[in-house]
Amino acid sequence: MSSVSIRKIRKSFAGLTVLDSVDMEIAPGEFIVILGPSGCGKSTLLNVIAGLDDCESGQIVIDAVDVSGLEPSQRGLAMVFQSYALFPAMTVRRNLSFGMEVAGTPKPTIVQKVDWVAKLLQIEALLDRKPGQLSGGQRQRVAIGRALVRSSSICLFDEPLSNLDAKLRAETRVELKQLHETLKSTMIYVTHDQIEAMTMADRVAVMHKGRVEQFAPPQSIYEKPASLFVAGFVGSPAMNLLEGSLDGAGRFLVGQRSIGSSAYPFEDPSTAGEAVLGIRCEDIDVVEPGSPDSIPAKLAFTELLGADALGWFDCLGKRMSVRLGVDAARSMRKEVGLRFDMAKASFFSASTERRL
């Protein structure tokens, strides 16, 4: 297991800032997911860590050693690419052993490592096949195996599951998490898929426009997003957002409607000014119209999702989602009241877009 320190990394392409002073401290044995939309800089950051891209300033420090000036082969990392990058003319066995052969590893050691990784990833029956004879999931296992035989204490993954279908992605997610628990190596995993981030990571770094918006455990990011971007990006459906103003006396004003905010844990209870209220769909109750602390709403439509359902309501000039039971969704009346659990809400400054 190795620690990784990412210190003030900056990177630009043709005058466009791709990484803007990125800082991260990764503990030995952590499974870190770098999450963000396309173009946010997450794959570039992984390439900088691996040494495949240079940075303009900053340091990559592994186990207290600055490796920023070292070649990729000198950093002691293993990397799994989105495209698998297998040699098509070689068998699986040779794909796994080739890097060790080039490095001059003794043959008994090569055989031992190939047998070990084949058993670990359950690809023993595939060793004499070529990549063209394998399914997408099998190729991905081989690509992971090729990284593991290097016995590196740090493994990098660049969207390794994006080419797989939904069922296979779910299965491989579980296998990767179990693999991490078995090997205890440090893993840094890039994805745009928030389900992968929420289910696999010890901590998630949410990136936006080259910066890390929040670096925290998955549940903390979901429950207490640090910014408006994180609130809107993490969660399906996205967090409901309402623009309004805080009056500094425990009330949030949306037009002529006042919503009590005294249950919310403000850092500064006297906060006043333009703000945005965020509320998750499961933190809203549907009640009788006119019930205390409720807001009038009108049902637009419902979505049945199998085990539960989503109701979409027009409320305070916004379309809002509410998590419902299936039976409740089927019998939902048109005119209702919505009651927010303000203790689980989020408030953001309208000017800085940061959590209040």
Q: CA 242, CA 238: separation in Å to the nearest integer?
A: 13
Q: In this structure, what token pair is assigned to residue 331? A: 């019998």
Answer whether residue 355 is part of any domain.
no
Q: How confident is the model at residue 91 (pLDDT cuts 50, 70, 90)?
A: very high
CA distance 118 to 316: 58
**193 and 292 within one domain:** no
Query: Is pLDDT at 164 greater than 80 in this prediction?
Result: no
Residue 38 lies in a domain: yes
> 65 and 160: one domain?
yes
Q: 151 pLDDT exceeds 80?
A: no
pLDDT of residue 312: 97
Residue 55 has pLDDT above 80, yes or no: yes
Give 218-264 pLDDT, tens digit per residue.
999 999 999 999 999 999 999 999 999 998 888 899 988 999 988 99
pLDDT at 161: 83
Average pLDDT over residues 33-60: 93
Q: What is the mean pLDDT of the chain?
A: 91
**CATH value at residue 283:** 2.40.50.100
Confidence grade of residue 298 (pLDDT, cut at 50, 70, 90): very high
Both 292 and 223 in one domain: the answer is: no
Has residue 25 been placed in a domain? yes
Domain that holds residue 141: 4-232
pLDDT at 15 over 90: no
Q: What total of structural domains would you count in the chain? A: 2
Question: Bridge partners of 303?
Answer: 310
Q: Tell me the pTM.
A: 0.89
Mean pLDDT computed over 86-101 = 90
What is the structure's pLDDT at 135? 86
pLDDT value, residue 342: 94
C-alpha dihedral, 238 to 232 to 212 to 227, nearest 10°:
-120
Beta bridge partners of 10: 57
Say if residue 83's pLDDT is above 80. Answer: no
Given a contact cutoff of 8 angstroms between Cβ atoms, the answer to whether 3 and 27 are in contact is: yes
How would residue 152 be classed by pLDDT, with cut points 50, 70 and 90? confident
More confident residue, 81 or 28: 28
Look at residue 354 and tell me if it is in a domain.
no
Say whether both 8 and 148 belong to one domain: yes
- Determine, yes or no, domain membership for 356: no
128 and 204 inside one domain = yes
Question: In the prediction, which pLDDT does 262 show?
Answer: 87
Whether residues 155 and 241 fall in one domain: no
Cβ–Cβ < 8 Å for 143, 179: no
> Where a domain ends, among 209, 232, 255?
232
Q: Taking a C-beta distance cutoff of 8 angstroms, is the pair 279, 340 a contact? A: yes
